[in-house]
Structure 1
Amino acid sequence: MEATPELRGKLTPNAPLAPLVWFKSGGTADWLFEPKDVADLQALLAALDPQVPVMALGLGSNLIVRDGGVPGVVVRLGKPFAKVMAIDAVTLDCGGGASGILVSSTARDAGIAGLEFLRSIPGTVGGFVRMNGGAYGREVKDILVDCDVVMRTGEVARLPVAELGYAYRHSELADGNIVVSARFRGQPGEPEAIQAEMDRISAAREASQPLRSKTGGSTFKNPDGHKAWALVDAAGCRGLTLGGAQVSEKHTNFLINTGTATSAEIEALGEDVRARVKQTQGVELQWEIKRVGRIKHKDLP
């Protein structure tokens, strides 16, 4: 890294990313930056060569970090970005590092209904705002008012929901732009009823998903008119393995690291599933899990 400004956060070279992601696999980040606050993040990005790639990392729940590591700077928004507070009777101001569980619990305590589904999204505000995360018939575009984004240049912009170009599990936010906070709006509700809905969602997830495994959440997007898990199941992929990677027996749209899988094995298994679904069902599945970093060639360290 070339000369950097006086940073107050933590900047670590060759930082292992496997411990920070749900699959527990993958290589290192060239640099891992955990900023102290928004100004600290601005300072780093403004000073960085524009050619250096920048990627935000939340809980790493929907991510394959390839075994060759991630080039440039990985930004992880920690505790300073994990605050959530009500700003009026139906609106929450949420830091980009806050979890879906914290957001939904704070909404419950404030008597704000409509945000219960965030309880089931295993990620942070920054991540599910970027990808229009959703579950149980709701998605972020239904509740987002606006968000604050630190641009790759270091400038901050407040973007209303209409400017994010939302589609299914997609936004038009450019790579290197980092969501540092967002405002979510629900409607008045009774905390007891909100908690009951959160409990229902939690029970449904627990019953249907391999939550206690090293996994990456939903692997493929649901194609129009189809459920990805049903296509994978119909293609005969339930329980399919490759090295230490496996298609979950419990929910076939989940891949699992059974203990020793490399990221290459997990990704290759996903591609095998895609090929089998295309061949047998005539549908081309699209990845929902984000795959980042360099492929590690066997003849290289």
Structure 2
Amino acid sequence: MGALLGQRKMTLPPVRGKLTANAPLAPLVWFKAGGAAEWLFEPADTDDLCNFLRALDPSVPVMGLGLGSNLIVRDGGVPGVVVRLGKPFAKVAADGLTLTCGGGASGILVSSTARDAGIAGVEFLRSIPGTVGGFVRMNGGAYGREVADVLVEAQVVTRDGTLTTFSNADVNYRYRHSDLPEGAIVVSATFRGETGDPASIQAEMDRIAAAREASQPLRSKTGGSTFKNPDGRKAWALVDAAGCRGLRKGDAQVSEKHCNFLLNTGNATSADIEALGEEVRGKVLAQSGVTLEWEIQRVGRA
């Protein structure tokens, strides 16, 4: 059965997966704030996703959602369809030095599978709080490595429902950015590492985990790294120098542990969180002359 798309009075294509109207997104994102998706689609498999997007009115916006770690969903919600890849897309397989990863697989699963197979070079994925789809799109990275260093190719479903393979060169990676098309969903990716000793790989993963625990507010409602590092500078240091450590707006606060993290300390709205971020940007610009760019994605209606 199809379903009516809000005010559009348009029948959605039938699906084999799960399609939910007016689905709250706050429980699905790390900030635990924000509005609902007009529609949330959890496809049964890649064919289900392709068929749905192929038949969906091209005017309807589509957005992919991973673990929601680097995301502000505005309080007015997200129009159109939000696609969330669940268990069918959360598998990782190793073959030689190659890892084939579903778009819904976590960085922890990718790195631990690599460790078990003796594949080094992807330990940094242990520290990225997201799914393969998200960090392939955003060229996620940490501790001196990024996805551009290990990606061979990605399988992507474009907005018109076409399954396309993008090579590393096709993606045209830059710092926290790629040229993947708007509305495209990464359903799988192939990474290549190098030969390594599982014990040494585990030791490096442990080192990364301990460093994150010591320096970042991991047990808080947060969105991860808020602003991109400007060339030759550290965003956290600029925020600190501008006197923003601990700055608050309602229940939104700049972390005192790591100044490039914003926190929801209670019942902050997404508007509170975003406004705090803009206040920080203004103070940094006034103090240092540097315009910080958002690393966190902000989506939906205010």
User: Into which bin does the TM-score normalised by the smaller protein fall?
Assistant: over 0.9
Residue 277 of structure 1: aligned partner: 284
> What secondary structure is seen at the aligned counterpart in 2 of 1:33?
strand
Contiguous gaps of at least 5 residues in structure 1: 296-301
Q: Does 1:256 align with 2:263?
A: yes
Mapping 1:64-143, distance limit 5 Å? 64-86=72-94, 88-143=95-150
Mapping 1:1-301, distance limit 5 Å? 1=5, 2-86=10-94, 88-295=95-302
Matches of 2:212 and 2:13 in 1, distance apart? 45
Letter in 1 for 2:252: A
What CA deviation, in whole Å up to 9, does each residue of 1:188-236 have, x standing for no partner? 1010000000000000000000000000000000000100000000000
> What secondary structure is seen at the aligned counterpart in 2 of 1:123?
coil
Matches of 1:272 and 1:133 in 2, distance apart? 26
What CA deviation, in whole Å up to 9, does each residue of 1:138-183 have, x standing for no partner? 0000000000000100010011010011100000112110000000
Matches of 1:5 and 1:70 in 2, distance apart? 19
> What secondary structure is seen at the aligned counterpart in 2 of 1:217?
strand
Letter in 1 for 2:190: R
Task: Give the Å deviation of 1:5.
Answer: 3.3
Alpha-carbon contact 2:101-2:188 (below 8 Å) kept: yes
Matches of 2:75 and 2:131 in 1, distance apart? 24
What CA deviation, in whole Å up to 9, does each residue of 1:218-255 have, x standing for no partner? 00000001000000000000000001100000000000
Letter in 2 for 1:6: P
Matches of 1:90 and 1:198 in 2, distance apart? 18
Contiguous gaps of at least 5 residues in structure 2: none
Letter in 2 for 1:120: S
Matches of 2:32 and 2:210 in 1, distance apart? 25
> What secondary structure is seen at the aligned counterpart in 2 of 1:216?
strand
> What secondary structure is seen at the aligned counterpart in 2 of 1:291?
strand
Matches of 1:107 and 1:98 in 2, distance apart? 13
Letter in 1 for 2:17: G
Letter in 1 for 2:53: L
> What secondary structure is seen at the aligned counterpart in 1 of 2:225?
coil
Task: Give the Å deviation of 1:6.
Answer: 3.0
Percent sequence identity is 76
Letter in 1 for 2:288: Q
Alpha-carbon contact 2:15-2:52 (below 8 Å) kept: yes
Normalised TM-score (structure 2): 0.97
Matches of 1:212 and 1:247 in 2, distance apart? 15
Matches of 1:173 and 1:144 in 2, distance apart? 14
Task: Give the Å deviation of 1:259.
Answer: 1.0
Task: Give the Å deviation of 1:37.
Answer: 0.2
Moved over 2 A (4+): 1-6
> What secondary structure is seen at the aligned counterpart in 2 of 1:158?
strand
